[in-house]
Amino acid sequence: MEYRVLSGAGLEVGIIGMGGEHLDGKPYAQVKETVDAALEHGVNIMDVFMPGEEIRANIAKALGPRRKDMIIQGHIGSTDIKQQYDVSRDLPTARKYFESLLRIFGGYIDIGMMFFIDSEKDYKEVFETGYAEYVERLKAQGDIRHIGFGTHRPETAIKVINTGLPEMMMFSVNPAFDMLPPEEYIIDQLEKGFKPELFHGIDPKRAELYKLCTQKEIGITVMKTYCAGKLLSKDLSPFSEPMTPTQCIHYVLSRPSVASALVGFKSREEVVAAMAYLDADDAAKDYSGVIGSVRSDFRGSCVYCSHCQPCPVGIDIAEANKCLDIARLDTAAIPPSVIAGYKALAHGGGECIACGNCEERCPFGVHIIENMEEAETLLG
């Protein structure tokens, strides 16, 4: 396993994490087999949003004394008051379900997640009631160690981050979601099926969110890495060909501020299939052909696919461009962490020899030579 620091929370997490949803309703033996396989492969972060007591208890039992080795994202406000996944901001109800989660997982939750803040109504129910104050009390009491939140909407995510309360975020990330027009709600797309004609390139609002997260040091864990399996299906993918798990994971991990791609496992075999990413070569990880199969209205923008590599002088072009994109948000107040990240690169943009090999290979017409010069000017 490779590990990254989850910015804001400061936790070191595996780049592949675990979503527990698909274990719900499964027998204990299957839960244990899957959890054991995840731990054996170095998985150390797991999302447990499911409100049912049985699935929570099964996961906790499977972890046993290894609970200390797993960072649990536990959600505040996730309920099953209608005998299905539901959300409640009613404090007595939220408290009841969260206190059950606390008890089952040993009296503490590593990251207390404000559950499902998508709409303006959701935002008001969290920040204009006593809900946010309750979450802050949980942290002050030591019941949760860090505060996070989950959302599917970039405009809402930006608003929540700007309150200054959360330290990290769980967000839906994959190339299909990143390319949907901002007026399209991704949950609707999952239910209705994708229309390929909707895809016009990277949604600027989502790109803005990724950069803001890096600027504000808000780490991201990712849900819907495989787009509920649709990206792996020839019939359901919105692209001209299905993606592989490795391509999906690599796309997610190339987004700014992302620390971990959470994958929904329900068997040892699915864990092993995802872990193949760790040994994959650059060709297996390359997702640029899939992205290039849709209209390229985003030509000129780096999508950090590294198709431009190798650089003859060793510049990590994708990382340099990522730092530059964040710096461009406010060139008068570039975060020190971005400058430090750029300077930590083995080779900076100032070493570019303007050979043009990268620009010939770039599928998206990025002016890489100019970008390297600008990166060195702003960050070198």
Along the 380 residues of the chain, how does pLDDT read in single tens digits? 999 999 999 999 999 999 998 898 899 999 999 999 999 999 999 999 999 999 999 999 999 999 999 999 999 999 987 656 788 999 999 999 999 999 999 999 999 999 999 889 999 999 999 999 999 999 999 999 999 999 988 999 999 999 999 999 999 898 888 876 555 555 555 555 555 544 455 677 888 898 899 889 999 999 989 987 878 888 777 777 889 999 999 999 988 899 999 999 999 999 999 999 999 999 999 887 776 665 444 456 776 767 688 899 999 998 898 888 878 877 888 877 788 889 989 999 999 999 998 998 786 678 999 999 999 999 98
Two structure tokens written together for 323: 């730092």
β-bridge mates for residue 18, sequence order:
46, 263
What phi and psi, each to the nearest 5 degrees, are found at residue 220? -120, 130
CATH fold of 3-291 reads: TIM Barrel (3.20.20)
Beta 168-172 vs 144-151: how paired, if at all? parallel
Residue ranges of domains in the chain: 3-291, 317-379
Determine the Cα–Cα distance for residues 269 and 97; give it in Å rounded to an integer.
32
Query: What is the number of alpha carbons within 13 Å of residue 304 lying toward its C-beta?
Result: 23
Using DSSP, how many helices (H) and how many strands (E) does the chain show?
Answer: 17, 12
* CB within 8 Å of 252: residues ≥ 6 apart: 173, 174, 222, 225, 258, 261
Two tokens, residue 215: 């600027």
